[in-house]
Amino acid sequence: MTTVVREVREQFNPARPTQCIGTVELLTLNETKAVVTAAHNAFEGWKNTSSIARGEVLRLTADLLEKNIDKVAEIASCEMGKTKSEMLGEVKRGASILRYFAQEGMRAVGEVLPSANESKILYTMRVPLGVVAAITPWNFPVAIPLWKIAPALVYGNTVVWKPSIEAALTGKLIGELFQRAGLPENVLHVVQGRGSKVGQVLLEAPEVKAITFTGSNNVGQSILDTAGSTNKKIQLELGGKNAAIILADANIKQAAKLTIEGAMKQTGQRCTATSRVYIEEAIYEEVLQRLTEEAKKIEVGVTMGPVSSKGQYDSILAAIEKAQLDGAELIFGGGPTQGMKEGYYIDPTIFSNVTHDMAIAREEIFGPVLAVIKVKDYEEAIRLSNDSDFGLSASIYTTNIPKAFDFINRSEVGLVQVNDETGGAEPQAPFGGMKNSSTGAREQGQAAKEFFTTFKTITIGTKVE
């Protein structure tokens, strides 16, 4: 009998980098291929299971997630650095996602259409694809996987899920909750490993019919290069460089507060985080002062956690250094948090006198860094806001209704916010961006079925000669 030798990876706490919080075994390439085959073999049975019964498994998983909310939040917080309170909110959001898609099992799966021939019945039905590979990031280790897995399962697909290696323990726990809820064997597999190895197997396996991925643009491009020429459906949610616009007629206090929240929540490690803000020159100095005041209220280590890893830490500090070399003026933060004995903590950071051509105004940083840019008026603000390779989210702060609706119409993003920060998405609403921020069908809401199902059209002749 051959003994499988697996690599064992230790998981460390970014708040205490010497603290090992657990270990995870990484699958071999052959084991990953076997998992895909098992999911393929389980598809027929799961596809033919009542959609109502499939939804009931999601409902029971939501119940278990809520019962284990403290345990899940604690593990995820220790694994990737998000504060415990932020993780508790994310776990609740995960339960809401499961409950929303549980109800999808009771919704219509097609429609009856009129036929030109009176002796024929014409109708459509949505059918599952087969094995879906879900590849998810570390920054939302509960919510993002669930808004992929839940619709995939309720619509009748089987799933092979590769969580980020930085959130492996959280992924293992989520997988166990699905099993405890009664999900049949091999319908959902959690595969642990590096994207360059395990992920590559998922991209190349012929049994995999669809790939849904959230992560960096570089990895997204490699997925397109590898799987784009196959017949697989591909859904990519990638980066963002999300802009906020603050006009002179805005509620300045509210705008400053929400802009800082948008930039600094989850330590800025959100694809929808506010990364640049355009302020009309008439109120520029006042808003800048209020932004600084709001940033001072953040308690690093209490209300804002560490960044997720040493790699993130080094990358963010390098971006801050480059901004200074490019001529941006550092007005708050700008380095490692003083007084912290250990951990990858970085102060909330604000730069002023930023020009639109600087890297800090154009490149995703994925950390607690905000670029502040002065503009003459609304027209300049929206022009610069749209002048980006990304198109995920944008917000405007104004009391001028015509300008608010003009912004809604002209903003080149998938998520538009008026008098609110750039982040946030509810389970019933489509999520996704434009330009280099997304590829393929939207996630969440009724839009999810566009990716996880395909149409079958049926014609029945009713006339017997």
Q: How confident is the model over 213-233, as pLDDT tens digits?
A: 999 999 999 999 988 888 899
| Same-domain status, 216 and 315 | no
| Same-domain status, 229 and 371 | no
| Same-domain status, 445 and 413 | no
Q: Which positions ≥6 away from 186 have C-beta within 8 Å?
A: 38, 39, 41, 42, 158
Q: Is residue 1 part of a domain?
A: no
- Residue 237 bears catalytic tag: yes
Q: Which of 241, 260, 239 is nearest to 385 (CA)?
A: 241
**pLDDT under 50: residue ranges of the chain:** 1
Query: How is residue 450 written in tokens?
Result: 């566009």
| Same-domain status, 347 and 204 | no
Residue 145 is part of a domain; what is its CATH number? 3.40.605.10
Query: How is residue 261 written in tokens?
Result: 């929240």
Q: Which of 239, 194, 181 is nearest to 59 (CA)?
A: 181
Cα end-to-end distance, the chain, whole Å: 64
Position of tokens 């259409």? Answer: 113
Rounded Cα distance, 4 and 23, in Å: 17
pLDDT of residue 116: 95
Q: Which of 459, 460, 394 is nearest to 423 (CA)?
A: 394
Where are the extended beta strands (E) located within 205-323? 208-214, 233-237, 242-246, 274-280
Rounded Cα distance, 374 and 154, in Å: 48
Strand pairing partners for 350?
A: 332, 370
| Same-domain status, 142 and 233 | yes
CA angle 316, 320, 321 (to 5 degrees): 115
Residue 197 carries which DSSP code? I
Residue 340 is part of a domain; what is its CATH number? 3.40.309.10
From residue 245, alpha-carbon distances to 188, 328, 360 in Å are 43, 19, 17
CB half-sphere exposure, 29, CA atoms < 13 A? 8
Rounded Cα distance, 203 and 254, in Å: 45
Q: Is residue 208 part of a domain?
A: yes
Long-range contacts of 351-355 (CB under 8 A, 24+ apart): 351/323, 352/288, 352/328, 353/327, 353/328, 353/329, 354/276, 354/323, 354/328, 355/327
Rounded Cα distance, 51 and 106, in Å: 7
Q: DSSP letters along 315-346, please? A: HHHHHHHHHHHTTPEEEE--SBPTT-SSS--B
The total number of structural domains in the chain stands at: 2
Q: Is residue 424 part of a domain?
A: no
| Same-domain status, 271 and 399 | yes
Per the document, the length of the chain is 465
| Same-domain status, 232 and 307 | no
CA angle 353, 240, 79 (to 5 degrees): 105
| Same-domain status, 94 and 150 | yes
| Same-domain status, 41 and 145 | yes
Q: Is residue 423 part of a domain?
A: no
Q: Is residue 432 part of a domain?
A: no
Strand pairing report for 415-418 and 242-246:
unpaired
pLDDT of residue 3: 63
| Same-domain status, 129 and 25 | yes
- Specify whether the CB–CB gap between 89 and 261 falls below 8 A: no
Residue 336 carries which DSSP code? B
- Specify whether the CB–CB gap between 388 and 345 falls below 8 A: no
pLDDT of residue 283: 98
Q: Which of 242, 457, 190, 202 is nearest to 365 (CA)?
A: 242
Rounded Cα distance, 297 and 305, in Å: 14
| Same-domain status, 86 and 20 | yes
Q: Is residue 51 part of a domain?
A: yes
How crowded is residue 163: how many other Cβ atoms within 10 Å of its Cβ? Answer: 27
Rounded Cα distance, 458 and 465, in Å: 21
Q: Which of 90, 104, 237, 364 is catalytic?
A: 237
- What is the b/e burial string over 394-406, where b = at least 16 CB atoms within 10 angstroms of the residue's CB? bbbbbeeeebbeb
Q: Is residue 402 part of a domain?
A: yes
Report the SS3 class of residue 327: coil
Q: What is the value of pTM for the model shown?
A: 0.95
Name the residue range of residue 27's domain.
7-238+437-460
CA angle 94, 97, 100 (to 5 degrees): 150
| Same-domain status, 223 and 266 | no
